[in-house]
A = this chain, B = another copy of it.
Amino acid sequence: MNGKQITIVGGGLVGSLLAVFLAKRGHRINVFERRADPRKSNVYAGRSINLVVSHRGWTALKAAGVHEAVERIVVPVHARMTHDRDGKLTRLPYSIDERAIHSVSRGELNKVMLSEAEKFPNVKLHFEHRCTSVNLETGTCTFHNEATGEASAVPADVVFGSDGAPSAVRQEFMKHRFTFSQTYIEHDYKEIAFAPNADGTPRMDPHCLHIWPRRWFMMMGLANTDGGFTGTLFMPHTASAVIPEAGRPKGAGPGLARRGEATESHPAIPAFDQIKDEQDLMRFFEEHFRDATPMLPDLAEQYFRNPQSNLAIIRCSPWTYKDKVALIGDAAHAIVPFYGEGMNAGYEDCKVLNDILNEHGDDNWATVLDAYHKARKPNGDAIADLSLRNFVEMRDLVADPKFILRKKIEGRLQARHPDKWLPLYSQVKFSDIGYKTAWDEGLRHDRIMEQVLAMPGIEEKWESEEVERKALGLLEK
């Protein structure tokens, strides 16, 4: 094998991990990033949702040999902690054995990953380079140097577009036979930081993902290593927004999508465009997030300073062009953040690509890219659907006694029959099972649990043999 000249457009989380994988194979890598080096300037200030690393994220990081650097900057999270309007807390573990997902700041993770990539002499990072065109036939990309104003043309054997949802590389695909859709959900989001105590200790349990579920909107908080939390408020952008189909789980199954009002407009639902001044804001927080307010002394200042961002789902096909160009990560499959899987899905893309290169070698890029697209496209679609589904779960269902009962029944089934019953959440976050397989299996679980929850007296007898037999019997059908 001769090392190839490879251009990676986008030096975010996925681009930097991809650079590591490809550098270890002996290729020569140029990474071009539109923004400044995050190790030198705070490019993410005020507009980041915290991320979580899940099992499949770790699998990819380990395969690339960079997991130890990441382990130093994460906070383990074992459970959801819901806050009701009166401040009452309910702890819902993610799995029966208290397995953890790991909270991490996007900015910190990006810095670590860039430094890992830069350790390889065959990786060169170029910041403030905006991609202005990609020749899909030749692999030559042009870049505008945002600092000097200069333009440059960079030839390459293979090009990867890891440049996120607004991908410039994908723009070039649009000029060809390319199926594409972008759908915005009605909810926007805004970051609000929770400061630590004066002594640097956290004000809430840092090993929980805190949720204030309010049915049509929610706030969440994820711990950082400094004792603070990154909070995020999700709410319709306008009071007149109709909660669209896109905001509901596709085929979520009975028991999840049962709240029929979801497709009607709800003038009573709070929306970003209703909060015009500090008085509106304080009234809103006092009504819905009373227990959080004392932890946010600078709330108004943050709220009116931080940008309000929107959320889109992007699906497209094909992700590759001949033997030359491939989309990866959000550039190929931008999803909503509610399963915390966007980064993990992108990391898994890199890992699967590396596996395919192991199989087909580094000189058959037409075969490799085709196999990559075939392997990942169905999983990209599935995690998009799963992420929408989890939004309903987080903002609404976690506050529903029936849903909590279902979780308990599923936990018992898993404990007693771990070979037969792995709840959907565990499949997604604590396994390497393909997203598509998990989605199909999750829909099957929905149908079974609907019948189980309809059993008379289920609230009393959920731990009985009878319930267990019923569920397993349905599973074997």
A: which residues have CB within 8 A of B?
174, 177-184, 237, 310
Contacts and interface: CB of A to CB of B under 8 A. Distances in A.
A296 B89 CA distance: 80
Contact of A178 (B178, B180, B184): B184
Contacts of A179: 181-184
A116 B183 CA distance: 40
A177 B184 contact: yes
A36 to B, nearest CB: 22
A449 to B, nearest CB: 31
Given A179-B181, A179-B184, A180-B180, 12 more contacts: A174-B182, A177-B184, A177-B237, A177-B310, A178-B182, A178-B184, A179-B182, A179-B183, A180-B181, A180-B182, A181-B181, A181-B182
A236 to B, nearest CB: 12
Nearest to A314: B180
Contacts of A177: 184, 237, 310
Nearest to A180: B182
Contacts of A310: 177
15 contacts: A174-B182, A177-B184, A177-B237, A177-B310, A178-B182, A178-B184, A179-B181, A179-B182, A179-B183, A179-B184, A180-B180, A180-B181, A180-B182, A181-B181, A181-B182
Contacts of A182: 174, 178-181
A310 B183 CA distance: 24
A116 B184 CA distance: 41
A101 B387 CA distance: 49
A184 B179 CA distance: 6
A178 B180 CA distance: 13
Task: From A177, A180, A310, name the one whose CB has the most chain B CB atoms within 10 angstroms.
Answer: A177
Contacts of A180: 180-182
Nearest to A177: B184
Nearest to A315: B181
A183 B177 CA distance: 8
- What 9 pairs across the A-B complex have the smallest Cβ distances? A181-B181, A177-B184, A179-B183, A180-B182, A177-B310, A179-B184, A180-B181, A179-B182, A178-B184
A84 to B, nearest CB: 31
A309 to B, nearest CB: 11
A225 to B, nearest CB: 34
A183 B174 CA distance: 11
Contacts of A178: 182, 184
A181 B312 CA distance: 13
A173 to B, nearest CB: 11
A327 to B, nearest CB: 16
A174 B174 CA distance: 13
A183 B178 CA distance: 7
Contacts of A237: 177
A174 B312 CA distance: 11
A181 B237 CA distance: 22
Nearest to A181: B181
Contacts of A183: 179
A432 B174 CA distance: 35
Contacts of A181: 179-182
A183 B317 CA distance: 10
Contacts of A174: 182
A23 B70 CA distance: 64
A174 to B, nearest CB: 8
A406 B187 CA distance: 48
A320 to B, nearest CB: 15
Nearest to A244: B179
